[in-house]
A and B are shown apart, each in its own frame.
Chain A
Amino acid sequence: MLKKRFVAVVTIKNSHAVQSFGYNKYLPLGKPDVIVKNLDRWGVDEIILQCIDRTSSNLGPDFEVLNKISKIGISTPIIYGGGIRNAVDAAKVVSKGADRILLDALLYSPKNEIEIIADKLGVQAIMANIPIRQDGEDYLALNYQTKIESQFNKFISNIPLHWISEVLITDWCNEGKKESFNIKLLEISDLIEKPLIFFGGISSILTINKILNNFKTVGFGIGNFLNYHENAVQKLKLNISNQVIRPQYFHNKEY
């Protein structure tokens, strides 16, 4: 059976890992490669590297961070997002150690760029990140670069979903805040025909189980809360009653 995934989200600003709170406050955590090494050792199912300052500064992807991570030999799938401008950047990100890419700013650019990336890497390698919030009965998608919000329905009708395999739905208002994920956001599942990973303010087993019970959910993401305890991934996995997730394991060096 295909398992649902526990995805660790590492937010990177200025090539340093940070704790992120609601997309507007950041606290330093340390070296991204050290954090990724721990997550790999703890057996998380996937790791998203989210470099949040690369697009606004037009710096391109953070290859330095990818190189460092690549050198330590990570055996967990890596999804990289941040600063990807075109198919050349995307292919280079994969050659530097990422297995898949996460797009956000590029969703607003000419549609055929994503198609070109898909021709090169395959659609299964492409994910989209959509930060959203609830507004009464509506859901608004946030353009992280311009800070302009648009109705979720209208937004997804304007992006080339055909070339995207999965969507990360980020509860950006509650991101980084303990047990604050807006469970109403699961209703997004009715509005988009894509497998979804939910992220932002998820920290309790109760919330994780509710998310995993959603039929379109393929995973959930946790960021800040994995940095407060040793073996945080295994401890959470041990307590997830839902059998659809890969069980915890503790590192064993004998192959």
Chain B
Amino acid sequence: MKRRKICIVDYGVGNHSSVAQMINKLGHSSRITKDPIEIKSSDLLILPGVGAFPLAMNNIIQDGTDKILLDEAKKGKKIIGICLGMQLLADQSYEFKKTNGLGMIPGVVRPMSFIDWHIGWNRVDFNGQKTKLKLQDDNSVYFNHSYVFETSPDHILAESVVYGRTFTSAVKKDNICGLQFHPEKSQYIGMKIFQHLIEELNNA
């Protein structure tokens, strides 16, 4: 396995240290930063996030981090968004109010219409045509969200079901990928998923 230099983009929202610890445990190097030089020199970027969409986007724009991220994405930099970080990849969100996102993966973030919150461990089923990731029977990961990423089937990497309703739990477009669940809080299975995605994105 090649050791990758991974930047966790710090936009002032969320629990970055858990993501950093997961990356380090997997044998890669991690840096929590918003320094453009660090971001540009990394192999892969992580957009983490716990919190509300408008505040996160506001922070990203105020720092000018949005422009750097969009530039890097265009150049082919691998980017993984986690939870709120995945939602920031969309065109827009309706959390509290209509707010533009980074627009890296076509889609809109809307409230889950069938449940107030989706909190806890639930199955994630990856699309076998889009990833070689194979999970065992117990493929539960940890979710904690109340909004979902609505996108076209072309960009759906994984789906989950809650109370009989299917929603998108992972998205992917070229070099950009998003996970609605928290791999860094999903114990063994989360580490396995994350490690696989890093390798798959880098080998694509």
Contacts and interface: CB of A to CB of B under 8 A. Distances in A.
Contacts of B55: 119-120
A94 B50 contact: yes
Interface string B57-100: 00000000000000000000000000010000000000110000
Contacts of B188: 43, 75, 249, 251-252, 255
Contact of A73 (B22, B96, B116, B162): B22
B25 interface: yes
A1 B120 contact: no
Contacts of B118: 2, 124
B185 to A, nearest CB: 5
Interface stretch (B36-44, B101-109, B140-148): B140-148
A165 B119 contact: yes
Nearest to A72: B21
| Residue of B16, B188, B191, B195 with most partner-chain A CB within 10 A | B188
B148 to A, nearest CB: 12
B52 to A, nearest CB: 5
A166 interface: yes
A112 B146 CA distance: 21
B192 to A, nearest CB: 5
A4 interface: yes
B187 A99 contact: no
Interface residues of B, number: 44
Contacts of A255: 26, 188, 191-192, 195
A246 B15 contact: no
Contacts of A40: 187
A125 B22 contact: no
B191 A75 contact: yes
Contacts of A91: 51
A197 to B, nearest CB: 10
Interface size class of A (residues with CB under 8 A): 35 or more
B182 interface: yes
B24 A77 contact: no
Interface in A28-67: 40, 43, 45-46
A229 to B, nearest CB: 20
Given A45-B120, A99-B15, A255-B192, A77 B50 contact: no
A4 B119 CA distance: 10
Interface string A1-24: 111110000000000000000000
B182 A218 contact: no
Contacts of B17: 70-71, 96-97
A242 interface: no
Contact of B138 (A2, A4, A249): A249
A135 B18 CA distance: 43
- Most chain A CB within 10 A, of B14, B50, B162, is at B50
A195 B119 CA distance: 10
Contact of B119 (A75, A120, A166): A166
